[in-house]
Homo-oligomer: A and B are copies of this chain.
Amino acid sequence: MTATKHASSWSTPPRDALRVGHGFHLRDVDPESTPGFDAGKKHAERELAAGVPTLSELQERLFAASTQGAPDAVLLVLQAMDTAGKGGIVRHVVGAVDPQGVRHYAFKKPTPEELAHDFLWRVESQVPAGGQIGVFDRSHYEDVLIGRVRQLADAAEIERRYGAINDFEEGLVGRGVRVVKVMLQISADEQKARLSERLDRPDKYWKYNPGDVDERELWPAYQEAYQTVFERTSTALAPWHVVPANHKWYARIAVQRLLLDALEGIDPQWPAADYDIAVERARLAAT
């Protein structure tokens, strides 16, 4: 490819350093840590900038390949407690690529129509098409997170959903969608500081919602619900990555690297001409 590979500062790539495997426990993750990356903030900013042309070219190749029928796509699933930095990932990592190739969808509280269907109904319609990078800003995992913590469904239904999610994601992978699952993990103290900042700054008031404190009071229950999510749905085909996120700069390079890995795994190629180049040159010359 044209974009030159830059020397990376990762000692261990995030796909290894952050992947949820057997014996993982969320309480063991230090939100202040920067696994696999010891170089600090300044290097991280350079790393992020250096990744942009590569990400951008890979996205264009992915899109180009889809115009001749390649089914490959990437789906970034973002989950986190409030203020953990999902928005910053979308803006600073995903925002670096051509908006034509990105499909961002923020899942909100389900509507009555959505609730009348299976929980995956509204999710299916947002799956990225071939050539796209999809971003789920919250996702079907809310149905086993807030769904469990707030008992929005009975226990048997919650149980059923873990298996349904695994089947759904296996189906995605089978049709060419690489699923990159990311949970941004901040500490309770860091959340407090970030919520507090929103109450201090008039340009941040709109980001604050009294319900955020209600959810915050359920912190231990959410951590437990996440732990169960990891145990039940971190599969070989679609593993979870828990990204320590007290340092925004770390979370951003980690997610960028995970996206780069997914795209490099696809290794999309510029499609060959599906027309006769010499004939077209002659036709064009005649105009």
Contact = CB atoms under 8 A, between A and B. Distances in A.
A100 to B, nearest CB: 5
Nearest to A92: B98
Number of copies of this protein chain within its complex? 2
A222 to B, nearest CB: 13
Contacts of A64: 203, 206-207
Contacts of A100: 87, 90-91, 104, 106, 137
Nearest to A57: B203
A268 to B, nearest CB: 11
A137 B205 CA distance: 34
A196 interface: yes
A57 to B, nearest CB: 9
Contacts of A91: 98-100
Interface string A262-280: 0000000011110101001
A280 B192 CA distance: 12
A92 to B, nearest CB: 9
Query: Which range holds the interface residue count of chain A?
Result: 35 or more
Given A94-B99, A99-B90, A208 B280 contact: yes
Nearest to A98: B91
Interface in A182-233: 192, 195-196, 199, 202-203, 205-210, 213, 216-217
A-B complex: 4 closest residue pairs judged by Cβ atoms: A205-B273, A64-B206, A91-B98, A206-B271
Given A90-B100, A209-B275, 6 more contacts: A68-B206, A91-B98, A94-B99, A99-B104, A205-B270, A217-B287
